[in-house]
Structure 1
């Protein structure tokens, strides 16, 4: 449970770093190499991991100290903290508060920083010409797509625990989608700028279209 949540928050920290990187690349391109040095990169990455530990450790310690006297079935695809907390046979109000506060800090702080970066990027793009604007948009498109999928799914999962009579099965489906689909799509989304990948996707789609057209002609011939 600790490592799953820890890595999830770390991923949001890295998305925040990537938003800052794009802000510097678009808004201060001439100073990029002097701002984003190797030392700064290491500090930012260490900060993402430290921030994740801060957001995760206290809630995990509190969950570990709770008594669990049955049932022992977690209604989730993994040991999600909210699902595990429902099995405790003691007062969990403090745990709920700490867990919610940690989730809000982990989601809102990174989300606000990413949003701020893109607001500044948008203001800078408004002063650019069309070619520069399209180039800046292509630089940000993949990252924006990943951020949208990640934060939408995570927010839905956290909000679902605060809604009464919410189906656990639907929550599990969304949580698994959020946990599996986002990392699965990341390399594809980030690689769409690669010309060879785009050409390969185009060839694959063309073969599917050709097969569909051939099948339609065969059906018409038989008819």
Structure 2
């Protein structure tokens, strides 16, 4: 690397699994997953915005989750792919801090939103008569705003402290983006006090929220067992089981990375967890909450039906026939002349 192209404060990212034997294949797979997740979540947001039947608290929270997933996967994957093909590895101090801040903000907001979605399903199944009061549009908006504000404040704290630790020796980040454990691993001072602060924060934002989600799903299961309707049981169990799948994968990797000391796991393990959280779960959310949701599929079919009907409408057909007749008359008159 040309020393003129970087300053002493620049970091050097080694990229996505630098020791992997087939990097081209890995980048193509990541790019494919990114394309599917980005396109799918964009379509889901459009459907929720267009279809009035989806203007409910549950789908409002789902739209917020799609926004997080779009920003989450876009904050790391495009830059990683561009850097791989251009060979550029350096990143400035400010850019690294900004990337860490946005990554933490989106990650924490996603944890809170998944918890709010579990609460929404709990109220809908266990207290349906009070649903319009407990999860009104105003309350839902307040919960979403609180989630974003809390995520921003916590991310700000956990960006300022790690980025101010002195770094001795190599400034190489064994990762494909600036993540907290990778930065802490380069520090040459004792970070045990901050590790304790990180551990306490992780308990609040990960472990406590995960326990709340499990408690909600447990109460839903107990309520479902008392139901007489078989269809109601299937719908409630399917919703809860799919939500638990996403939650277990996302919270599991985050708890492993952030609730343990940075020195207790390897950079490869950090990268594996990051890929699961930032690349796999946005696509998994799409498959579970969109393709596995009859209301979303119905909204998509209705939207496609309207587009087809608009294209094949009688007025357009009549207009095309008139154009054909006029063109024929014009050509006929020119031939006669």
TM bucket, shorter chain: 0.7 to 0.9
- Alpha carbons 1:59, 1:98 under 8 Å: kept: no
Q: What does residue 198 of structure 2 align with?
A: 99
Return the offset for 1:53.
Answer: 2.8
| Alpha-carbon displacement from aligned partner over 1:19-41 (angstroms, at most 9, x marks no partner) | 00000110111221222111101
TM-score when normalising by structure 1: 0.78
| Alpha-carbon displacement from aligned partner over 1:94-153 (angstroms, at most 9, x marks no partner) | 221222222222101211211121122122112112512222113323322211221222
Return the offset for 1:80.
Answer: 1.3
Q: What does residue 171 of structure 1 align with?
A: 270
Q: What does residue 246 of structure 2 align with?
A: 146
SS in 2 for 1:86: helix
SS in 1 for 2:242: helix
Return the offset for 1:67.
Answer: 2.0
1:29 aligns with 2:29: no
1:52 aligns with 2:139: no
Q: How many correspondences in the alignment? A: 197
- Alpha carbons 1:150, 1:178 under 8 Å: kept: yes
- Alpha carbons 2:167, 2:186 under 8 Å: kept: yes
| Alpha-carbon displacement from aligned partner over 1:165-188 (angstroms, at most 9, x marks no partner) | x44224322321222100122111
Q: What does residue 6 of structure 1 align with?
A: 105
- Does the C-alpha gap of structure 1 residues 163 and 85 become closer, same or farther in structure 2, counting only changes over 3 Å? closer
1:38-187 alignment, distance < 5 Å: 38-131=137-230, 132-158=232-258, 161=261, 164=264, 166-187=265-286
SS in 1 for 2:110: helix
Measure the CA separation in 1 of the matches of 2:153 and 2:208.
Answer: 13
- Does the C-alpha gap of structure 1 residues 185 and 63 become closer, same or farther in structure 2, counting only changes over 3 Å? same
RMSD value, Cα: 2.3
- Does the C-alpha gap of structure 1 residues 104 and 157 become closer, same or farther in structure 2, counting only changes over 3 Å? same
Unaligned runs of 5+ in 1: 199-223
Return the offset for 1:77.
Answer: 2.3
Return the offset for 1:196.
Answer: 8.9
- Alpha carbons 1:59, 1:95 under 8 Å: kept: no
Return the offset for 1:81.
Answer: 0.7
Measure the CA separation in 2 of the matches of 1:102 and 1:33.
Answer: 33
Return the offset for 1:161.
Answer: 4.4
Unaligned runs of 5+ in 2: 1-99, 299-337
- Does the C-alpha gap of structure 1 residues 161 and 172 become closer, same or farther in structure 2, counting only changes over 3 Å? farther
1:15 aligns with 2:97: no
- Alpha carbons 1:55, 1:103 under 8 Å: kept: no
Which 10-residue stretch deviates more, 123-132 or 23-32? 123-132
SS in 1 for 2:174: coil
- Does the C-alpha gap of structure 1 residues 65 and 157 become closer, same or farther in structure 2, counting only changes over 3 Å? closer
- Does the C-alpha gap of structure 1 residues 39 and 179 become closer, same or farther in structure 2, counting only changes over 3 Å? same
